[in-house]
Amino acid sequence: MRRALLAATAAVALLLSGCNADDVKPPGQSKVDVDTPQLQKLKGATDIEDCAPGTATDGGLPDLTLPCLGGGPDVDLTTLQGPMIVNLWASWCGPCRKEMPAVQAFYEKYGEQVPVLGIDYQDQQPAAALALAKKSGVTYPLVADPGGDINGSDPVPHFLGIPIFLFVSADGDVEVVPGGVDSVDDLVDLVDDHLGVAL
């Protein structure tokens, strides 16, 4: 009887001390800081362009504001206007590492016609991400989504892995396409197929 009473008392104590909505962080919320003095210094040693919000009121991307990787203004994705390419990558992703030089080469050649934005996705190592960007010669702007908030944010469907491209048309349509390109020509073909832009 005494055991039962102790068990019941413990159960009531657990119920009374349980979590409430204020104790639970929303899914995807991350504590990774992508704008520290150390990261600003690392970014300063690269040629990565500053992040800049766009001017659209609804360019088609999710209603999501992401911080600039290594410091700079946050970017409200809905303000970005196509045609453009958004590349989701991470420092821990082998295929991302392989394709980054091709994405950079595309940006150097065609970035005026079809801008590129990189999203460091679900990456808990922003210093490693900046080191990879520097090693790959990346100059296009980079924002960070350490909590993976873009995955499943309308109109982006849930996806299972990266690298991923989001092709954003001038009309605001967004197409999700698996990454893994090997060359500028591969990306040019994808731009033609998914954006209808002949380069």
In a domain, 10, yes or no: no
Instruction: Determine the structural domain holding residue 69 and report its residue range.
Output: 32-195
Say if 6 falls within a structural domain. Answer: no
Give yes or no for a cis peptide into 67 (omega within 30° of 0): no
- Which pLDDT belongs to residue 30? 59
Global pTM reads: 0.84
Asked if pLDDT for residue 28 goes beyond 80, the answer is no
Backbone angles phi, psi at 177, to 5 degrees: -135, 135
Does the structure show a pLDDT above 50 at 26? no
140-187 residue pLDDT tens:
999 999 999 999 999 999 998 999 999 999 999 999 999 999 999 999
Residue 1 banded pLDDT, cuts 50, 70, 90:
very low
Q: Please indicate, yes or no, if residue 13 is contained in any of the structural domains.
A: no
Residue 129 lies in a domain: yes
Q: How many domains does the chain have?
A: 1
Average of per-residue pLDDT across 186-194 = 97
Domain assignment present for 163: yes
Considering the domain boundaries, does residue 2 fall inside one? no
pLDDT (0 to 100) of residue 116? 98
19-23, 33-37, 97-101: segment of lowest average pLDDT:
19-23
Q: Which residues, in sequence order, are CB contacts of 177 under 8 Å at separation 6+?
A: 164, 165, 166, 167, 190, 194
Specify if 46 maps to a domain: yes
Structural domain contains residue 16: no
- Residue 189, number of CB atoms within 10 A of its CB: 13
Read off the CATH number of the domain in which 87 is found: 3.40.30.10
pLDDT, one tens digit per residue, over 89-122 is 999 999 999 999 999 999 999 999 999 999 999 9
Tokens of 2: 């005494």
